[in-house]
Structure 1
Amino acid sequence: MIIRNPLRMIGKTYHDAVTALNSLQSNYANIMAIRQTGDRKNIMTLLEMHEWSRRIGYSASDFNKLNIVHITGTKGKGSTAAFTSSILGQYKEQLPRIGLYTSPHLRSVRERIRINGEPISEEKFAKYFFEVWDRLDKTTSPLDKFPHMIPGSKPGYFKFLTLLSFHTFIKEDCKSCVYEVGVGGELDSTNMIEKPIVCGVTLLGIDHTFMLGDTIEEIAWNKGGIFKPGAPAFTVEKQIPEGLAVLKERAGERKTTLTEVPVFQQLQHAKLGIAGEFQRSNASLAVVLASEVLHTSNVLDKKLGCNPDASIPKKFLDGLQNTKWEGRCQILEREENIWYIDGAHTKDSMIAASTWFRDTVCSSKRKKVLLFNQQSRDAKALVNNLYTSVSPDVIFDDVIFTTNVTWKSGSYSADLVSMNTSQEDVENLKVQESLTNNWKEIDGNHARRYVTPNIEEANELIEKLYDEPADIFVTGSLHLVGGLLVVFDRLDVK
């Protein structure tokens, strides 16, 4: 989707960059209009990405020097990307600068573009942002080939950030970069990457059905679209058989190989920086992906291989242990309460996160609280998945359904503005009221049920519920998780 920018830029600060970036978000009405056409594919996406790149001074071949790891999947692709980046970061002498591009962000949009594990600074974000912005303003596209690229138009939010990441990593002289696909693979804006070093596919599941299809086969076809000739592809073990078959077909079509990665024996009981037993599969995949890069870069004499008993170097283990990835099986202690935070928003990820919470707190005698939101997917189904996964070992005493609005003022944190939901539904608490009724149906009257219009009020409610410590499970949306962390940040500086 092409967005015509309505702003007249006054300054070029980080705040100005975020304001301009937010103007590129697709609004809810446009998304719904496209859905009504029934068209899942936009074959112009990659052609337009190549054209936008040309206008900011690059061809796709320029990005080959970034030695890219390209990762897709339904569950765990962000964690796998973080693990891979952290392993590569242990080899600073040979690879001094490692780029990481992921989505979505939690607190700040800068989290999407990281170097050596850290979000780029506000100053660098603003600098590179306006270099891309201004180049687009000063160039044009042939309207006979790109009729939507009228003068003054800009790519949409995610596409612009993808362009910005390429520009940033090249300017910062990154020696290798890890790219997480946004949605799918075949027509994702990151798929203009022509020659990745290696590709990875995490566990497949049903998600983004409007864009990717209703069956695991259709989804696997889209995910396999990132495969490239000569770039080996790897996937986790215990992949859904029908999806795995399609991935293998796609690998054959793209003249490459697809190999299943087992959970390495050394990782069965290793300490990982991201909690959750299911992360061992993602960590194993990351080990193989990083090994491919390090071998190609002449850092390792030979590849690690995929034998379960393979000997994993200490630097790899250190990288896995030191990985930091907020919002995924994260535990925070605040005063006497313990917060268990995971932005799970698909069936598989919800089951995994809920199981992690259940196994972690089932022996705890503390009161149990659920804080939940999911504004755009099938929230009722996710709540049912959650309830089934924790019961009967964990019974919630209180459940709170909120929106992703950050503050009591009705505003969002600037980096968390979202125009991709129905504003009317948010204001009327339509989803939240439906969820509290659904909870009553599945849980009876055991838990007290609450609805709050924003995250700040939800946090205040939790603080007032008990005079004793509680275990609080926060899940359903990364936007909810990000907003809560922003609320915590403000409280911590008071």
Structure 2
Amino acid sequence: MNAYDYIEGIPMWAGKKHSLEEIEDFLQELKDPQKSFCVVHVAGTNGKGSVCAFLTSILKEAGYFTGTFISPHLERLEERFLLDGNVIGQEDFRQSFQEVYETAKKRQERGLGHPSYFEFLFYMAMVLFARKGVEAAVLETGMGGRLDATNVIKDPLACAITSISLDHTKYLGNTIPEIAGEKAGIIKPGVPVVYDGTDQEAAQVILSQALRQKAPAEAVTGEDYVREKASLAGETGQDGLQEGFWIRECLGGRAGLRLCVPFSAPYQAQNAMIAVKTARVLNRRGLKISSEQIVRGVANARWPGRMEQAAAGVYLDGAHNPGGIRAFEEAAFEIIQRQGKKPYLIFGVMEDKDYREMAALLCEKVSWQAIGLVHGKSSRGASLLSLKEAFEPVYGGPVYEFSSAEEAMEKMKVMSGDGLVFCAGSLYLTGEWKQALNKVNADKGVNVHD
């Protein structure tokens, strides 16, 4: 049996979503693998993957063998499972699949339902981490929080909630407070939570839930750090291409840690600080994490597809909702101003996203020389016609339609010359852009940076 085909054959959005009690029952049949390691639970709309990346790197620096469960993947299913920040191999994937598959089959024979797509992958992560002897696990929620499969974890060491934006409104609610309420569902009695406090509506909901659960709560706002003018642009890092900046932590009017944030996007400062405060919570709760290990962990974090400089002059970002696009445009504008080069945009998005508002946000500050639209391989992608109509009222420059990510990358790279190409709109498309960029650069002997 091909494990990859089997998993991809499980409906992602259809079928029965099991209750937390049913998920707990399935885990019991797997001998409760989730009880063999401590857990950091991370929810939010934007930035939760980045916070997971920072926390993974910090825990690794502190000497803890760390497992990380994230979603979605960019190119391969294995990317959802990390051991000490590294994507697992095919054999570990196969063994984890087999154990979950056999348990699911036995339960089906007893008339019990099959796990959903996300549930199946979550079970795989739990058995993988237990089998490999993981000491600390960083778990990212799939969607929401309150009813998410990962919320079966009853006693995490800490919870973190990142910025809240309008996304998955069909399932989570149509307002920021409603969505924040779903995300805050991961808060457990007495378990400390660190949360993004920049949106007052969301922050109020999260804090109220923390008070109900008697959970210590700590907000992170722009007052918790200052960004220094010095940047890493032009320096050579371990990837050959180095982007990033420095921030200084503010501790009640006195200076705290000086942190190197190894990403282009300014929004990563907020994510880094959420991770830093969460690491301090972990230290207070029994894990030994020093300030030096926090500094090294932040500096060594890697997170593909989030304003990633994938090649010289090419940036990939998985921003796929209004909040993410707003942060993307701010980051792109800063990069453009710093480098003084002409910008070009490649954009594609899923049909259930608010791409009309996203189009308007994309054109608020940046004067794109041209915009390329792409549908991608997913059947869920918004049509090129719909995307073109979304940009017509807000953008007067040339708009090109491409049948594939490869065609878009090839032609926009030629069109841009020595300018900058930015790709945004979908995490699912980010993997296609990376593959397309590798093909475009293959004849030149240049590879996309991992």
Shorter-chain TM-score: what band? 0.7 to 0.9
Partner of 2:247: 267
> In structure 1, how many angstroms separate the alpha carbons of the residues matched to 2:49 and 2:338?
30
Deviation, structure 1 residue 271:
2.0
Partner of 1:293: 282
Partner AA of 1:209 in structure 2:
T
Secondary structure class of the residue paired with 1:276: coil
Deviation, structure 1 residue 227:
0.8
Secondary structure class of the residue paired with 2:164: coil
Partner of 1:385: 361
Deviation, structure 1 residue 54:
2.9
Q: Is 2:63 the partner of 1:74?
A: no
Q: Is 2:22 the partner of 1:48?
A: yes
Deviation, structure 1 residue 484:
0.9
Deviation, structure 1 residue 317:
1.1
> In structure 2, how many angstroms separate the alpha carbons of the residues matched to 1:141 and 1:194?
29
Of the three residues 207, 228, 234, the one matched with 1:248 is 207
Deviation, structure 1 residue 328:
0.7
Pairing of 1:237-386 with structure 2 (within 5 A): 237-238=197-198, 240-262=199-221, 263-264=224-225, 267-268=247-248, 270-300=259-289, 313-334=291-312, 338-362=313-337, 364-376=339-351, 377-386=353-362
Partner of 1:462: 412
Deviation, structure 1 residue 493:
5.7
The superposition leaves residues 266-311 of structure 1 with CA deviations (integer Å, 9 ceiling, x where unpaired) of 83373212332221121111012122323434525xxxxxxxxxxx
Partner of 1:17: 3
> In structure 2, how many angstroms separate the alpha carbons of the residues matched to 1:242 and 1:440?
32
The superposition leaves residues 372-417 of structure 1 with CA deviations (integer Å, 9 ceiling, x where unpaired) of 01123111211111111x2xxx322221100122xxxxxxxxxxxx
Pairing of 1:116-155 with structure 2 (within 5 A): 116-140=84-108, 143=111, 149=113, 154-155=114-115
Q: Is 2:393 the partner of 1:441?
A: yes
The superposition leaves residues 38-58 of structure 1 with CA deviations (integer Å, 9 ceiling, x where unpaired) of xxxx6x432331232233x23
Kept after mapping to 1: 8 A contact 2:359/2:394: no
> In structure 1, how many angstroms separate the alpha carbons of the residues matched to 2:185 and 2:156?
13
Of the three residues 64, 68, 71, the one matched with 1:100 is 68
Higher relative contact order (CA 8 A, sep 6+): 1
Kept after mapping to 2: 8 A contact 1:67/1:293: no
How has the CA–CA distance of structure 1 residues 248 and 455 changed in structure 2, closer, same or farther, with 3 Å as cutoff?
Answer: same
Of the three residues 186, 196, 199, the one matched with 2:156 is 196
The superposition leaves residues 416-455 of structure 1 with CA deviations (integer Å, 9 ceiling, x where unpaired) of xx56x2xxxx5xxx621222233232222xx221111211
Secondary structure class of the residue paired with 2:46: coil
> In structure 1, how many angstroms separate the alpha carbons of the residues matched to 2:285 and 2:395?
54
C-alpha root-mean-square deviation of aligned residues, in Å?
A: 2.3
Secondary structure class of the residue paired with 1:194: coil
Deviation, structure 1 residue 217:
1.6
> In structure 2, how many angstroms separate the alpha carbons of the residues matched to 1:220 and 1:162?
23
Partner of 2:372: 400
Partner AA of 2:122 in structure 1:
T
> In structure 1, how many angstroms separate the alpha carbons of the residues matched to 2:138 and 2:184?
17
Task: Extract unaligned runs of 5+ from structure 2.
Answer: 227-245, 249-257, 444-450
Kept after mapping to 1: 8 A contact 2:263/2:308: yes
Partner of 1:410: none
How has the CA–CA distance of structure 1 residues 487 and 45 changed in structure 2, closer, same or farther, with 3 Å as cutoff?
Answer: farther
How has the CA–CA distance of structure 1 residues 353 and 298 changed in structure 2, closer, same or farther, with 3 Å as cutoff?
Answer: closer
Partner AA of 1:437 in structure 2:
E
Secondary structure class of the residue paired with 1:324: coil
Secondary structure class of the residue paired with 2:266: coil
Partner AA of 2:270 in structure 1:
S
How has the CA–CA distance of structure 1 residues 242 and 172 changed in structure 2, closer, same or farther, with 3 Å as cutoff?
Answer: same
Kept after mapping to 1: 8 A contact 2:410/2:440: no
Q: Is 2:10 the partner of 1:58?
A: no
Partner AA of 2:43 in structure 1:
T
Secondary structure class of the residue paired with 2:326: helix
Kept after mapping to 2: 8 A contact 1:197/1:232: yes
**Bigger shift: residues 279-288 or 241-250:** 241-250
Partner of 1:452: 402
> In structure 2, how many angstroms separate the alpha carbons of the residues matched to 1:203 and 1:360?
22
How has the CA–CA distance of structure 1 residues 133 and 489 changed in structure 2, closer, same or farther, with 3 Å as cutoff?
Answer: farther
Partner AA of 1:277 in structure 2:
P
Partner AA of 2:80 in structure 1:
R
> In structure 1, how many angstroms separate the alpha carbons of the residues matched to 2:275 and 2:182?
21
Deviation, structure 1 residue 469:
1.2
> In structure 2, how many angstroms separate the alpha carbons of the residues matched to 1:489 and 1:20?
28
Kept after mapping to 2: 8 A contact 1:237/1:281: no
> In structure 2, how many angstroms separate the alpha carbons of the residues matched to 1:323 and 1:298?
19
Partner AA of 1:324 in structure 2:
R
Of the three residues 487, 490, 494, the one matched with 2:436 is 487
How has the CA–CA distance of structure 1 residues 63 and 462 changed in structure 2, closer, same or farther, with 3 Å as cutoff?
Answer: same
How has the CA–CA distance of structure 1 residues 450 and 493 changed in structure 2, closer, same or farther, with 3 Å as cutoff?
Answer: closer
The superposition leaves residues 220-255 of structure 1 with CA deviations (integer Å, 9 ceiling, x where unpaired) of 2111110111211111232x2222222122112323
Q: Percent identity?
A: 27
Deviation, structure 1 residue 183:
0.8
Kept after mapping to 1: 8 A contact 2:355/2:390: no
Task: Extract unaligned runs of 5+ from structure 1.
Answer: 1-8, 10-15, 35-41, 301-311, 406-417
